[in-house]
């Protein structure tokens, strides 16, 4: 492990500080959300379809909704990206006409990360070749829990090398990690190995994003930035459904990282149902556009 990692891993905040900071961050949330804040959240959403039942028709339909959004809601920003399995990237690439919407793909044996590294590398490269702008991978959680941190770091480096100048989001699967210190450690390993974003969860395990995990990860990002000057993004994913849920994560990012992070270049929320709920709050009436 690098000297930078060895230095930064010592800075994990104690539990009391995490709880106090989280309380302060959450209490900053307005009772009645501002429409501009809600628009910022909508514009940070990776509109996600990662279902076993997905097929070409589903993904064309989803992409069509994103394409039609601006013609229906001209004064509201569109989502940040469409996130799909790698085999559907080419479908989105062919059909997507909406401006400034990225194509994101999970890869690297999502959601388990349990296969040969050569297959993970190949899948990432194939997703990029098919048209993906961003790749979401999962750390090898089993190796991490077995204290093989060097292997975890090396895999991330290899996958970042495969992705090149495209965005690499690294999922630490915080719900499977036993404590705050391990969430902090996984975050530092990912950033030190080249992650452009660190992400809470796959949404495929019982515990997904939590405010506590988000706070710890954002503190890790802040420490990493303070030491290196490198801005790493944060993505919350899994179980974020309501506007109130999303605002909590927005406020955690604001509290820990400041206004510079409150845009889609550095803040994302992975969700499917959330987009309609945010849109309805903005419009003041129920919409099921997505």
Catalytic one of 120, 169, 235, 264: 235
Mind spelling out the 3-state secondary structure of the chain? Answer: CCHHHHHHHHHCCCHHHHHHHHHHHHHCCCCCCCHHHHHHHHCCEEEECCCCCCCHHHHHHHHHHHHHHHHHCCCCCCCCEEEECHHHHHHHHHHCCCCCCEEEEECCCCCCCCCCHHHHHHHHHHHHHHCCCEEEEECCHHHHHCCCHHHHHHHHHHHHHHHCCCEEEEECCHHHCCCHHHHHHHHHHHHHCCCCEEECCCCCCCCCCCHHHHHHHHHHHHHHHHHHCCCCEEEEECCCCCHHHHHHHHHHHHHHHCHHHCCCCCEEEEECCHHHHHHHHHHCCCCCCC
Catalytic one of 65, 95, 169, 199: 199
| pLDDT per residue rounded down to tens, the chain (290 residues) | 899 989 998 899 999 999 999 999 988 776 677 999 999 999 999 999 999 999 999 999 999 999 999 999 999 999 999 999 999 999 999 999 999 999 999 999 999 999 999 999 999 999 999 999 999 999 999 999 999 999 999 999 999 999 999 999 999 999 999 999 999 999 999 999 999 999 999 999 999 999 999 999 999 999 999 999 999 999 999 999 999 999 999 999 999 999 999 999 999 999 999 999 999 999 999 999 99
Full-model pTM: 0.96
pLDDT at 28: 75
Active site residue 136: yes
- Domain spans, the chain: 3-283
The topology (CATH level 3) of 3-283 is TIM Barrel (3.20.20)
Rounded to the nearest integer, the mean pLDDT of the chain is 96
pLDDT at 205: 96
């Amino acid at each position: 492990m690098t000297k930078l990692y060895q230095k930064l891993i010592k800075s994990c905040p104690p539990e009391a500080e995490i709880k106090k900071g989280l309380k302060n961050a959450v209490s900053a949330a307005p009772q009645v959300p501002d429409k501009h804040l809600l628009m910022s959240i909508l514009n940070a959403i990776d509109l996600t379809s990662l279902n076993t039942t997905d097929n070409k028709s589903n993904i064309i339909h989803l992409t069509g909704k994103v394409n039609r959004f601006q013609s229906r809601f001209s004064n509201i920003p569109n989502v940040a990206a469409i996130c799909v399995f790698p085999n559907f990237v080419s479908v989105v690439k062919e059909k997507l006409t909406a401006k400034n919407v990225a194509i994101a793909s999970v890869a690297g044996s999502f959601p388990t990360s349990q296969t040969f590294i050569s297959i993970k590398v190949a899948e990432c490269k194939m997703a990029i070749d098919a048209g993906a702008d961003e790749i979401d991978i999962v750390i090898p959680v089993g190796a991490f829990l077995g204290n093989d941190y060097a292997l975890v770091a090396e895999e991330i480096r290899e996958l970042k090398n495969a992705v090149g100048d495209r965005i690499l989001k690294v999922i630490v699967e915080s719900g499977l990690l036993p404590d705050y210190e391990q969430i902090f450690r996984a975050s530092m390993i990912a950033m030190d190995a080249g992650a452009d974003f660190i992400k809470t969860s796959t949404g495929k395990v019982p515990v997904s994003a939590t405010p506590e995990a988000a706070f710890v990860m954002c503190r890790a990002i802040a420490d990493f930035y303070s030491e290196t000057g490198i801005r790493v993004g944060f993505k919350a994913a899994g179980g974020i459904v309501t506007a109130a849920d999303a605002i909590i994560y927005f406020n955690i990012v604001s509290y820990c990282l400041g206004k510079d992070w409150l845009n889609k270049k550095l803040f994302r929320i992975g969700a499917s149902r959330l987009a309609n709920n945010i849109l309805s709050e903005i419009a003041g009436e129920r919409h099921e556009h997505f």
